[in-house]
Structure 1
Amino acid sequence: MRKRDQFDIPGAGLSRRAILQGIAALSATPFIAMPGMAFAAGEPRYGGSFIVGSGSEPRHLNLNITTDSSTKLISNPVFSKLVGLKTDFTPVADLAKSWKISEDGLVYTFTLEEGVKWHDGEPFSADDVKFTFEKVLFEYHNIGKALGQYVASITTPDPATVVFTLKSPNDVFLTFIASQSYIQPKHLYDGTDIMTNPANTAPVGTGPFKFSEWARGREVVLMRNEDYFRKDRPYVDRIVSRFIPEASSRVRALEAGEVDYLAYFDLPPSMVGTLRDNPDITVVGEGHNAWGSIVELMMNLDKAPYNDVRVRQAITHAIDRQFIIDKANFGLSKVATGPISSQIAWAYNPDTRQYPYAPDTANKLLDEAGLARDGNGVRFKAGIVVTRTIEANVKSAQIIAEQLKNVGIDAEVLAIDDASSSETVYIKRSFDMYVQSLTTGPDPAMGMQRQYISSNIRPIPFTNGIGYRNPQVDDLLMKAASNPDRVKRAELYKEVSAVICEDAALVWLYENAAFSAFNSAFGNLHSWAAESNYNYGDVFWKEGEEKRA
């Protein structure tokens, strides 16, 4: 039998299982499934705590002003969206109990659940939806700002109805609503600085869990929302996100029962095989459908010598990407070929220009760029920023640094915390190179466009941090995002991928293999959502009580 952790309370001598069973005895309501949702491992039970292991501690918990994984991992259960996104990329009801789209594809009408309250007791209404889109998402979100220009108006005929009117039919708009648009309280944000509002660190939502406490450097605690508008949920009483920066310590905590869940970005690839052999732990690849994630080596194109395409091509030729996959990612991935992952099959272009591992070619290009070696054989020095809590990225950066030295680039790995890397790269843009993982899905208009369209060069995390500018690319991306025809959009994305690869805008290292792991004593994880590593608010403990008292 697995070891169980003890809660950190005075005189705690009870096992976690005993405490969970005691808490579970406090609750029960009939089970009603969310539309379109399939539950795994039996009927849900009530009570207990669910512990999430997080490698990074975010600076805030506002997931509409960053798509940072640690922020979304921790705060997702606090908030609701109009609709959620299932694994087949179709919407499922959330705050909107129904919706319809006009025949011309221009008008989206959402009918909202009634009687919903914010966690502070204030009533939720359509005005909150309108405010969230117009004043938050369309202003500060790294994807929403680009998509906002396709919206002609947002109206609220009554408190339970919100109507979006588009300027032209759009193939991606509903996907954005379902995957990225968390509704926030107008009464707390209106008339304030969105970026510094106190609610960013003590969030108020309408979701299944309420923010309770943030013990800096240790954990964030969420408690069950007893007034949640879906009266059958949530099932567990408490969710705790515990900060464990060191990768091996996170895995040991999962094995020991001290945490119950590690999302793919917090699970080192080196441990996937071992955890798969543990009957008390479930390793899952499903539920990451929305990502199309690519690990990249970004370069600051506003700095010499990275503003020279020959240097970028040389750096790409100097890197043995298959070696990185084998050594840093334990063979779990495959080489990336461009800005869109092959997982986004309909928009993927397999025939882009490639830069195979060829140090001789790299040296020749660097010579042509006028970067001669000094007496020590060094052409120039460079820093490679990387988030220190992501083991595979750190190892990738270390391998890249060694391989670049072979062509005269003296590279130093700068491993820093997640929040500092975002500030260094995206806010201050004071970097040379940066190893990161960035999603290209669920639609390229959301995942890929943000990184290459020049209008998105702004001090917001996960935007066009490289400073890439190409008017042809801007035009193609705008056309692809606004075209309602999926076939025509695919043609445009394949064309734009070819152009970006010719420019060697950055180095696409490998397509990220996504594996999350959780304690098998919990159910309803990775069972229905395209972004399952964030959608765990309806998790249940299999040893809980059948009813909530």
Structure 2
Amino acid sequence: MVNRVSFTAAVILFSFAMCLFMQDQTACAFQQSPTLERLVNEGKLPPLEQRIPQQPVVVTPVTRPGAYGGVWRRAYTGLSDLVGARRILYDPLVRWSPEFKIIPNLAYKWETDEEGRIFTFYLVRGVLWSDGHPFTADDILFYMEDIVFNKELTPTIPKWLSPTETPPKVTKLDDYTVRFEFDQPYSLFLQQLACPQGMNFVTKPKHYLKQFHKKYADPEQLQKLIEEKKASTWVKLFLDMSDIQRAMFVNPEMPSLCAWVTKVPAPARRFVLERNPYYWKVDTKGNQLPYIDTIVHELQAESQTIVLKAIAGEIDMQGRRLGGMQNSVLLLASAAQGNYVLVPKTSTASVGVLLAPNLNHKDPQMRQILSDSRFRRALSLALNRNEINKIVYRGKGVPRQAAPLKESDFYSESYEKAYIQYDPAAASSLLDEMGLKIGSGGKRIRPDGQPLRISLDVMVSIQSWVDVAEIVASNFKAVGIDTEVKSESMELFRQRTQNAEHDIAIWSGDGGLECLLDPRWYFPYSAESLQAPLFAQWFQSRGNRGEEPPADIQMLMETYNRILRTVSLEKQKELFRRIIDANEQNLWVIGIVHDPPDYYVVSKKMINVPKRDFQSWMYPNPGPIHPEQFSYTTGK
């Protein structure tokens, strides 16, 4: 039996409701930008009514309906920084509202059965890809049947799509209705669809990608494409052409459903996105979105030059690469000069920065040391968090462990405060107990007689993290641990940590609010679980790759799997408490300080930007605040 529940929200309505907003008109009328109007008049583009649904999705502007035109000026540091653009183009089947709640989007409603196993999605009719081809249930089935269920392309189905060993059954009920049926209840499916990975369902146009797929393509033509693209196999070709960031920003031919499409691909000096003439949303006056014509990303060699561009008034709306709290005073002092305001972003992370000791270390002696909970507790006690807070965060942060936030349903005060007191004497006592005795020069010696040396891997592009790392190294040296800071490029950092080549990695404590969606720091869950990336591989591959973790960590994994099958929030709390208690006891990662809000720089000429936002990967800001309704006061 299906429990027929439909979800709506004030920011998303249908055009029949939009008519209520339109005064002195007996029928709904839609308008488009002058640029597109000219193309229609020149016969280069179909009329607007042929490009948008009869009932388009309506977005209510934050302040007022905007004006068409303008260039949104941003900056980026290259291909590794394309996630900034990806966060702007956010249109999954269901999405996060600005309040961090699930609301409709390309699926205008859904139904779930009483067990939470069966999900039926109803797609907005008449949505077109940016090349004018219809978006239908066939595109969703193509992603599932021809990509996810193809073992050459997807050797292991991601856990977020298949929480058990049995993949979901996906059925096309008609061109605009799709049903997912799981073998067991899946409590987080809707939330997972609203997260960045949910974009996979709406970025795989079958009519375009099938030319690269062995099942559909002519063998001779496919071989020509393999040679032309310099791919080794059809699998490599297809994965390259369908990768989200490459497809959206490196290949201008890739059709899109998002508000802007690539005109000049990355990594150009001026990476340019232009409005999608087939975009399927309008404002409350019937004006097709987006308002802004183009988004230009200027290539910069380093983050500091992006800060200088912001100060000079050459950034219109951006939060990435601005230095966070490190540069907030400078940005605030220069706001009048740059003609901008700072809009706060409240982080959902448990801490702004944490330490992830590598439990998969390739040196057996170091693995034994890092896997000893006494060593991790000693590191935590050796940290002078108040000093770090005062120097790096100007006293505005909060010392704590990487525990759920107070706003979370899973908050634990005891875990938040576990071992956060500054007690180098207690730290030294634990290290002595482990047999890590002080040798000549006041430095500790490993049980095998070798000097104990620790390196802290940190990304050089985030200066506040580097500053934290330097203080941490000083704190560890004070208890006899010889410590160095390795400041690395993002590419090198990723390479070392994914291959478990680091000692201790420094990263932010994602998952403080959205604990169940991003539990990377509560147990080895994903490739981002830098405390044990090989255990995480084992978990995600269901034991086919990586390293089998010890029993206590496997217990955490099984408990999480039970949570996925549990619909009751109270039961979820009970189960997750077991994971929290284990973390409090073992301290697999070491939290330092929860940092104060970060900021967007927003030009005073730009309107419809809310007064605050969240900062999270699972809530890929600024996407949920509808960048398509950003506008300039005079079109700019």
Q: TM-score, normalised by structure 2?
A: 0.71
Q: Secondary structure in 1 aligned to 2:388?
A: helix
Q: Which amino acid aligns with 1:434?
A: A
Matches of 2:404 and 2:158 in 1, distance apart?
18
Matches of 1:240 and 1:461 in 2, distance apart?
30
Matches of 1:107 and 1:482 in 2, distance apart?
13
Do structure 1's residue 513 and structure 2's residue 572 form an aligned pair?
no
Matched residue, 1:109? 120
Give runs of aligned pairs for residues 1-40 of structure 1, distance below 5 A: 26=35, 38-40=60-62
Q: Secondary structure in 2 aligned to 1:197?
A: helix
Q: Which runs of 5+ in 2 are unaligned?
A: 1-32, 38-47, 215-234, 249-253, 283-287, 445-451, 536-548
Q: Which amino acid aligns with 1:524?
A: N
Q: Secondary structure in 2 aligned to 1:439?
A: coil
Q: Does structure 2 retain, via aligned residues, the 8 Å contact 1:346–1:490? A: yes
Give runs of aligned pairs for residues 84-483 of structure 1, distance below 5 A: 84-132=95-143, 135=147, 144=160, 147=163, 152-180=168-196, 181-182=198-199, 183-187=202-206, 188=209, 190=213, 192-193=235-236, 196-200=239-243, 201-203=246-248, 204=254, 205-216=256-267, 218-230=269-281, 232-244=288-300, 246-263=302-319, 266-276=322-332, 278=335, 280-286=339-345, 288=346, 294-303=352-361, 304=366, 305-343=369-407, 345-352=408-415, 354-355=418-419, 356-379=421-444, 380-426=452-498, 428-440=499-511, 443-448=514-519, 450-454=520-524, 456=525, 460-461=527-528, 465-466=532-533, 469=549, 470-483=553-566
Cα 1:146–1:423 change in 2 (3 A) is farther
Matched residue, 2:218? none
Matches of 1:248 and 1:52 in 2, distance apart?
14
C-alpha offsets along residues 166-199 of structure 1, whole Å, 9 cap, x if unaligned? 3343432211111230022153275534894134
Q: Cα offset for 1:523?
A: 2.2
Q: Does structure 1 retain, via aligned residues, the 8 Å contact 2:347–2:597? A: no
Give the total of aligned pairs: 505
Do structure 1's residue 57 and structure 2's residue 108 form an aligned pair?
no
Matches of 2:529 and 2:629 in 1, distance apart?
29
Matches of 1:318 and 1:151 in 2, distance apart?
46
| Identical-pair percentage | 21
Matches of 2:581 and 2:238 in 1, distance apart?
36
Q: Does structure 1 retain, via aligned residues, the 8 Å contact 2:109–2:121? A: yes
Give runs of aligned pairs for residues 476-495 of structure 1, distance below 5 A: 476-495=559-578
Matches of 1:519 and 1:338 in 2, distance apart?
34
Matched residue, 2:631? 541
Matches of 1:103 and 1:145 in 2, distance apart?
20
Matched residue, 1:532? 621
Matches of 1:335 and 1:94 in 2, distance apart?
39
Q: Cα offset for 1:258?
A: 1.4
Matched residue, 2:65? 43
Q: Which amino acid aligns with 2:360?
A: D
Matches of 1:133 and 1:445 in 2, distance apart?
24
Taking only aligned residues, the RMSD between alpha carbons, in angstroms, comes to: 3.4
Q: Secondary structure in 1 aligned to 2:377?
A: helix
Q: Which amino acid aligns with 1:152?
A: P
Aligned partner of 1:497 among 580, 584, 589: 580
Matches of 1:26 and 1:317 in 2, distance apart?
62
Matches of 2:56 and 2:475 in 1, distance apart?
51
C-alpha offsets along residues 143-171 of structure 1, whole Å, 9 cap, x if unaligned? 62664768632222222111122334343
Q: Does structure 2 retain, via aligned residues, the 8 Å contact 1:337–1:350? A: no
Q: Does structure 2 retain, via aligned residues, the 8 Å contact 1:524–1:538? A: no
Matches of 2:627 and 2:489 in 1, distance apart?
27
Cα 1:281–1:521 change in 2 (3 A) is same
Matches of 1:218 and 1:140 in 2, distance apart?
37
Matches of 2:158 and 2:406 in 1, distance apart?
23
Q: Secondary structure in 2 aligned to 1:382?
A: strand
Matches of 1:255 and 1:136 in 2, distance apart?
45
Q: Which runs of 5+ in 1 are unaligned?
A: 1-23, 60-69
Q: Which amino acid aligns with 2:324?
A: P
Q: Does structure 1 retain, via aligned residues, the 8 Å contact 2:66–2:633? A: no
Q: Does structure 2 retain, via aligned residues, the 8 Å contact 1:77–1:208? A: no
Q: Which amino acid aligns with 1:373?
A: I
Q: Secondary structure in 1 aligned to 2:441?
A: coil
Q: Secondary structure in 1 aligned to 2:517?
A: helix
Matches of 2:516 and 2:566 in 1, distance apart?
11
Q: Which amino acid aligns with 1:160?
A: Y
Q: Is 381-390 or 238-247 further displaced after alignment?
A: 238-247
Do structure 1's residue 522 and structure 2's residue 522 form an aligned pair?
no
Do structure 1's residue 83 and structure 2's residue 94 form an aligned pair?
yes
Q: Cα offset for 1:92?
A: 2.8
Matches of 2:159 and 2:398 in 1, distance apart?
27
Q: Cα offset for 1:53?
A: 3.2
Q: Cα offset for 1:284?
A: 2.2
Q: Secondary structure in 2 aligned to 1:509?
A: strand
Q: Secondary structure in 1 aligned to 2:577?
A: helix
Q: Secondary structure in 2 aligned to 1:364?
A: helix
Q: Secondary structure in 2 aligned to 1:51?
A: strand
Matched residue, 1:17? none
Q: Cα offset for 1:402?
A: 1.4
The higher radius of gyration belongs to: 2
Q: Which amino acid aligns with 2:308?
A: R
Q: Secondary structure in 1 aligned to 2:370?
A: coil
Matches of 2:583 and 2:517 in 1, distance apart?
17
Matches of 2:559 and 2:488 in 1, distance apart?
36
Matches of 2:344 and 2:158 in 1, distance apart?
27
Cα 1:328–1:523 change in 2 (3 A) is same
Matches of 2:632 and 2:344 in 1, distance apart?
21
Matches of 1:102 and 1:84 in 2, distance apart?
20
Cα 1:268–1:78 change in 2 (3 A) is closer
Q: Does structure 1 retain, via aligned residues, the 8 Å contact 2:350–2:510? A: yes
Q: TM-score, normalised by structure 1?
A: 0.81
